[in-house]
C-alpha cells in the first residue's frame, strides 16, 4: 500500500515494494497522488511496470549544477562563460539548499543579494538556475512539479545602450590609434564600424574566408554557432586590401590585447563611456541610416529576430528627417 504524506501544501506518494526500488512523486492534491499510486501498484501487480525513476528532488542544487556543467554546458557556444558562472553559483549558500525545500523566498533572497553586483548579474543567475532545473525536470526525470524559479520576479533587462560614436570621437580615435598594437588596433576598430561584426568574429576572420572580389567575408565561428556571410562596404574592402597577409588570421591580435589597447586608447582620447561593443551598435544604426531594410541589416549583423536587432539600433533623428524630406510625397490638393 502506498504511503501518502503531506509536505507543505503538496502531497507525496511513496511506493515501497521488495522487488522494486522505492518510487515517489509529488502532487498538488491528495486525490491525484492516490490515483497515481494505484496505477503504479496495479502495473507492479501485473508485472508490466518498468521503472523510469529519474532523479529524486531530495538532492542539493549544487549537485544539479555540477551535473549540468559536466553534461550540458560543454555543448554550448559560450561554454567557457557559462562554466565560470555555474562554478561561482556552486559556491553560494543557495547551492547548499535541497531541491525539495528550495522555496521562492530562498531565491528572492539570493536575487536581492546578487542585485548588489548589478541587475544583469542577478537576472542572468536566476535564468541560469531556472534552465538547469528545467533540464533536470525534462531530461533527467527530476521529481518536481513546478520550477520554483518561475515563481520569483526577475529583474527587468537593462535598457539597451543608446551610445553613438560622434564624429569628433572618431577623428580622435583615428589620429591616436595609428601604430598601436602592432598597427592592428586601428583597422580592427574601423572594420567593426564598417561591418558590425562582434569582437570575437573580427578576431576569428581568416584570409581563406575573405573574398574581396565578391565583397564578402564568411564567418565560420559566430555567436549562434552558424556560419554567416557578411557583405562588405567599399571602405571595408579598402581596409582589408591594405592589410598585410603575413598570418592566416586577418587581424593577428588576441582578445586581451585588443581589450587593453582599446582601454588605453579611449583614455588617451579622453572619451568617456564608450565600449568596443558600442561600435557594433554604431555600425547597425548606420546601416539603417543608409537606407537598408530590416532583412538586409539582419543578414549583415546575424540577428535572428527584429526585437534583437532593434536593441542595437539608435537612429539619429536629424538624418531620418533628411531622408523623409528627400522622399516626401506631395499632399493632395483639395478639389
Residues labelled catalytic:
198, 223, 277, 280, 303, 312
Exposure string of 58-78, with b = 16+ CB inside 10 Å and e = fewer, is: ebebbebbebbbeebbeeeee
97-103-107 Cα angle (round to 5): 80
Helices 119-139 + 104-114 axis angle, to 10:
150
Helices 119-139 + 79-89 axis angle, to 10:
90
- Cα–Cα dist 146/277, whole Å: 38
Q: In the numeric block, which cell numbers belong to residue 256?
A: 586581451
Query: Which residues does residue 15 pair with via DSSP β-bridges, in sequence order?
Result: 23
- Cα–Cα dist 60/293, whole Å: 50
Work out the widest C-alpha separation in the chain, in whole angstroms.
95
Q: Where are the alpha helices (DSSP H) in 102-227?
A: 104-114, 119-139, 167-177, 185-195, 199-204
- Cα–Cα dist 265/279, whole Å: 14
- Cα–Cα dist 39/35, whole Å: 6
Query: Which residues does residue 6 pair with via DSSP β-bridges, in sequence order?
Result: 11
- Cα–Cα dist 226/57, whole Å: 37
Amino acid at each position: 500500500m502506498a504511503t501518502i504524506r503531506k509536505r507543505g501544501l503538496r502531497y507525496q506518494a511513496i511506493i515501497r515494494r521488495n522487488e522494486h526500488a522505492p518510487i515517489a512523486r509529488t502532487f498538488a492534491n491528495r486525490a491525484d497522488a492516490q490515483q497515481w499510486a494505484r496505477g503504479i501498484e496495479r502495473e507492479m501487480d501485473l508485472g508490466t511496470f518498468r521503472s523510469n525513476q529519474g532523479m529524486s528532488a531530495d538532492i542539493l542544487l549544487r549537485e544539479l549544477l555540477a551535473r549540468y556543467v559536466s553534461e550540458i554546458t560543454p555543448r554550448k557556444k559560450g561554454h567557457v562563460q557559462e562554466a565560470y558562472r555555474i562554478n561561482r553559483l556552486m559556491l553560494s549558500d543557495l547551492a547548499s539548499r535541497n531541491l525539495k525545500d528550495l522555496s521562492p523566498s530562498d531565491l528572492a533572497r539570493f536575487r536581492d543579494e546578487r542585485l548588489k553586483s548589478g541587475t544583469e548579474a542577478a537576472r542572468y543567475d536566476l535564468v541560469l538556475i531556472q534552465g538547469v532545473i528545467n533540464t533536470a525536470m525534462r531530461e533527467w526525470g527530476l521529481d518536481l512539479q513546478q520550477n520554483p524559479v518561475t515563481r520569483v520576479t526577475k529583474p527587468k533587462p537593462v535598457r539597451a545602450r543608446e551610445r553613438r560614436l560622434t564624429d569628433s570621437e572618431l577623428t580622435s580615435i583615428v589620429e591616436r590609434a595609428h601604430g598601436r598594437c602592432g598597427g592592428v588596433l586601428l583597422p580592427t576598430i574601423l572594420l567593426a564600424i564598417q561591418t558590425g561584426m562582434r569582437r570575437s568574429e573580427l578576431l576569428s576572420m581568416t584570409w581563406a574566408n575573405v573574398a574581396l572580389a565578391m565583397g564578402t567575408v564568411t564567418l565560420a565561428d559566430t555567436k549562434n554557432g552558424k556560419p554567416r556571410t557578411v557583405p562588405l562596404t567599399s571602405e571595408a574592402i579598402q581596409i582589408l586590401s591594405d592589410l598585410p597577409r603575413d598570418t592566416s588570421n586577418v587581424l593577428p591580435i588576441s582578445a586581451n590585447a585588443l581589450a587593453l589597447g582599446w582601454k588605453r586608447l579611449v583614455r588617451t582620447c579622453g572619451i568617456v563611456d564608450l565600449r568596443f561593443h558600442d561600435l557594433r551598435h554604431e555600425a547597425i544604426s548606420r546601416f539603417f541610416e543608409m537606407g537598408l531594410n530590416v532583412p538586409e541589416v539582419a543578414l549583415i549583423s546575424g540577428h535572428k529576430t527584429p526585437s534583437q536587432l532593434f536593441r542595437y539600433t539608435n537612429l539619429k533623428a536629424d538624418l531620418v528627417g533628411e531622408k523623409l524630406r528627400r522622399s516626401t510625397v506631395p499632399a493632395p490638393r483639395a478639389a
